[in-house]
Amino acid sequence: MSPFPHYLDTRVHDLDGIWQAAWLGDVDPDQVAIEAIDWHERLPVPGCFDALPRYAGRRGLMAYRTVVTVTPGRGGLLRFGGGGLWYRVLVDGQVLGSCDLPYSGWQVTVPASDRHCRQVVVLVDNRFDAERVPLFHPMYDFYGYGGLYRSVSWREVGDWWIERVQVRPTTAQGGAVELQVRFGGAVPASVPLQLAFDHGALQELGPQTVTDGSCTLSATVPEPRRWSPPDPQLHRLRLQTPAGGIVERFGLRQVTVDGQRILLDGQPIRLLGYNRHEVHPQSGPALPRQQLVEDLQILQDLGCNCIRGSHYPQDQTFLDLCDEYGFLVWEETLGWGYDETQWRQPRFAPANHEQARLMVRNSFNHPSVILWGFFNEGGSHLTETGPLYHELATVLRAEDPTRLLTYASNRLWEQSGDAHLDCIDVVSLNMYPGWYADPAQGSRPLADVVPCLRGAWQTLAELGAGNKPLIISEIGAGAIYGCRDRHAAHWSEEYQRDFLALTCAEIIGQERYAGLTIWQYCDGRTYDDGRALGRPRAFNNKGTLDEYRRPKLAYDAVRQRFRAAAVGQRPR
């Protein structure tokens, strides 16, 4: 089944499969003559061309082509679950749009035509270009792959259509919801609607006034069942219009904060889990479904109830699975350690706002998502970045007043302190005591971990954020799979095991922490330039599992402590 929403009375063509392709290399996408392309290559979609040995390490333009058979006279919505780093979409030779938002779910509207065979060409570019792709840079500590990472589909539409229905639970109990219906195309000023929940019959809602392409309704889910990690109950809603119907899946739960606690339906909940990159050596970020399920099963086995989707908008199939398994998810915009060279680009702020809006709109109905994150390790200690942080927080809150906001900061210890904690609900800190150190001071021992963690409590209080929930959003130590050492030296599995055992014990044992997401779930490919000297194998090796999901020694140490904390999931 494709991820939700599902559509009624309309044809949706799944474009996943093998596409024709052609490697064009280092050419300007504006100069490509599509008719002259020699389609010599075949590539999978979803897929990443540079995860294949033939294109490993290459940067340039790859052209993809397929043909879809559609109903003549109908327009289309051509939807990309996520791709990168940049791509341009042409249908029957006409440019319909270009996407500079890697990993974002994104779509273009295709005008109707008399043809039943429509040719889709996508020019995918994995070159770094600060102006053209302002959200991705070579400095990122994860590999920038080229490809169509996630599913592609073509939904046939008429003059107007339902885009999405956002379901907002409005209370901490029962089934009260607010429905926000968004339309696309030339929608009339008034639309008759019918509504059904779960297996119930359609109810007439009568004509509804549409303002700025949307309308809002209140409703009550009959026989409501609340969603929670140990009991992840889901509901469905069907909304029917003369232009067709839509089925959305959602969960009833409310997330709030009370002082230092995060509450789920009014009850304090602690988050224990991992940062997870969507990556595998054989497919890059285009993970097969088998891998999505394996990752979640492993995280369940570890006793986690929480996943931070570092560092980009998540795959909708993955979030559907998180809804079903009962994980709590932190979803965030793409970003990594931005500095002024990035934020001075004219497209930087608008691109961030756009990807934030898309992220919320795509993921709104997932009860698993409880936190929106942005600007991982940005310059949050600088007053000049204040407008960027506050504007993005405003965009996110306007799109979704029902979830919590956070950003992962590594700037608490700057002289000025972190300057923008007032725009978020939950403070999240990335820190690496016991791992990174000034070489002049010698390596930092495990004994640094607890004092450094506790030092943050005091600093937060001094910055006026002492009464906000605190998540340790990154902490970790590198270990190379199979490197065993009786000295428990850095890079050995023993050091990582001891490090994580200590860290978990501290965080689980102290009420001040609302959560922990360990850096990181599994090893992943990263930069292969000079900085790779600090990244043996050109991988970030702080995974509790290696890149093939083979557990290191730390696995059992974390598993034992997370399971004993029994934070939520149904025991398995």
The type of residue at 340 is: E
R_g (Cα) of the chain, nearest Å:
24
- Which single residue is written with the structure tokens 């709030």? 256
- Token pair of 273 as six digits: 């889990």
* Dist. CA 61–CA 66, nearest whole Å: 17
Three-class DSSP category at 138 = coil
166 binds ligand ADA per the rule CB under 6 A: no
* Dist. CA 492–CA 505, nearest whole Å: 20
Residues 422-451 that bind ligand ADA (CB under 6 A): 430
Q: How far is the CB of 491 from ligand ADA (least distance, A)?
A: 13
How crowded is residue 401: how many other Cβ atoms within 10 Å of its Cβ?
8
Q: How far is CA 534 from CA 145, 419, 477, 531, in A?
A: 21, 30, 12, 6
Residues 169-228 that bind ligand ADA (CB under 6 A): none
Q: How far is the CB of 432 from ligand ADA (least distance, A)?
A: 6
> From residue 311 to residue 330, what is the string marking binding to ligand ADA with x (rule CB under 6 A)?
x-------------------
Closer to ligand ADA by Cβ: residue 253 or 420: 420
Answer for which of 381, 542, 559, 561 binds ligand ADA (CB under 6 A) is 542
Answer for which of 126, 283, 365, 376 binds ligand ADA (CB under 6 A) is 376
* Dist. CA 292–CA 311, nearest whole Å: 17
Residues in the chain: 572
241 binds ligand ADA per the rule CB under 6 A: no
Q: How far is the CB of 2 from ligand ADA (least distance, A)?
A: 30
* Dist. CA 216–CA 195, nearest whole Å: 13
* Dist. CA 129–CA 127, nearest whole Å: 6
Answer for which of 333, 368, 540, 544 binds ligand ADA (CB under 6 A) is 540
Answer for which of 519, 521, 527, 539 binds ligand ADA (CB under 6 A) is 519
Q: How far is the CB of 479 from ligand ADA (least distance, A)?
A: 12
Closer to ligand ADA by Cβ: residue 325 or 407: 407
Q: What is the b/e burial string over 167-178, where b = at least 16 CB atoms within 10 angstroms of the residue's CB?
A: bbbeebeebebe
Provide the β-strand partners of residue 540: 524
Residues 467-486 that bind ligand ADA (CB under 6 A): 474
Site size toward ligand ADA, by CB under 6 A: 11
> From residue 25 to residue 64, what is the string marking binding to ligand ADA with x (rule CB under 6 A)?
----------------------------------------
Q: How far is the CB of 374 from ligand ADA (least distance, A)?
A: 13
CB 306 within 8 A of CB 346: no
Q: How far is the CB of 43 from ligand ADA (least distance, A)?
A: 28
* Dist. CA 152–CA 99, nearest whole Å: 14
CB 456 within 8 A of CB 470: yes
Q: Find the residue with minimal CB distance to ligand ADA.
A: 141
Tell which residue, 189, 270, 290, has the closest CA to residue 516. Answer: 270
377 binds ligand ADA per the rule CB under 6 A: yes
141 binds ligand ADA per the rule CB under 6 A: yes
513 binds ligand ADA per the rule CB under 6 A: no
Closer to ligand ADA by Cβ: residue 278 or 474: 474
Q: Which residues bind ligand ADA (CB under 6 A)?
A: 141, 311, 336, 376-377, 410, 430, 474, 519, 540, 542
